[in-house]
Amino acid sequence: MFLLPIIWIAISGKKSVVHNPLSESKSASAPTNLATERPSQAPPPPVSVSSSVDSAPSSPAQKPPSATAPAPAPMQTQEALASQNKQSQSTIEKSALDSKTPAAAASWLTYLLYGSDNNIAALKKVTIRNTGDNYKINILNQFNFECDLTFDNKGNPASLLNCISKDKPSPICNPDMPDSFCATSSGCFKTKDEKNPACYESWLVKDAKIKLLCTTSKSEQVCRGKYTLATTRGFTNQPEFTIARKLH
């Protein structure tokens, strides 16, 4: 019974062909699984506003639980910040220098500026304008402070004075939650149209004058100054102002 397959092959005159996958040449390599690949991320530049702010003390100027401050945005790399500057729809305020200000200060009046008023807030629009009597600087993020600005004899920002937030006072409790613990314990916002000024808080700069220290890298100039941030309800912190501009 074992001779039948051999006899059948001899009669048919055909040979069985064994398909050997190993004998096939590999004409193309297996496709790459793109889902598992991740683009390489370049490290942040060695000297930039972002890297400098990242190295600052970790005590953020966060609002207490009763405040309604927006969540702080993550720090930006120099590349992301440059992209933000290009996409910005804001106009650059150009103000004439007064006769007492060094000509070098003109760059701070005509360049797109960015900065923040605490160590963890995102770097956003900063503007400087000449009021005729002095210079005013507005730092939008995070508490929208406007200050008087002085320049040194080299044309660099030297100090901030008389800083006041342009934001309206914010509710200490959620106006939409009249039964919340905050509302019941403070007696505030039992109704939405709360009139008691004590039920609102404002952000303050306690320093009459803030000295700025400026540093220059290959791509940007950055000026910083430490100060005391406070609220009308007693919260205090020690962040720093940051204002900066690109050099090219």
One domain for residues 97 and 182: no
Residue 176: inside a domain = yes
Give the pair of three-digit tokens for residue 37.
């690949």
State the maximum Cα–Cα separation within the chain, in Å, rounded to a whole number. 117
Tally of domains within the chain = 2
H or E segment at 161?
strand 157-165
pTM above 0.85, yes or no: no
The structure tokens 């006769």 sit at: 99
One domain for residues 197 and 78: no
CA atoms of 199 and 205, how far apart (whole Å): 20
For residue 91, count other CB atoms closer than 10 A to its CB: 8
One domain for residues 163 and 197: no
Give the pair of three-digit tokens for residue 85.
């500057």
One domain for residues 209 and 129: yes
One domain for residues 136 and 84: yes
How many residues can be counted in the chain? 248
Range of the domain at 110: 73-167+204-246
Specify the pLDDT at position 215. 97
Specify the pLDDT at position 110. 87
CA atoms of 165 and 111, how far apart (whole Å): 23
Residues of the chain with pLDDT under 50: 1-47, 50-75, 77, 86-95
One domain for residues 223 and 105: yes
What one-letter code names the amino acid at 68? Answer: T
H or E segment at 181?
helix 181-186
Q: Which residues contact 233 (CB under 8 A, 6 or more apart)?
A: 64, 66, 172, 201
Residue 51: inside a domain = no
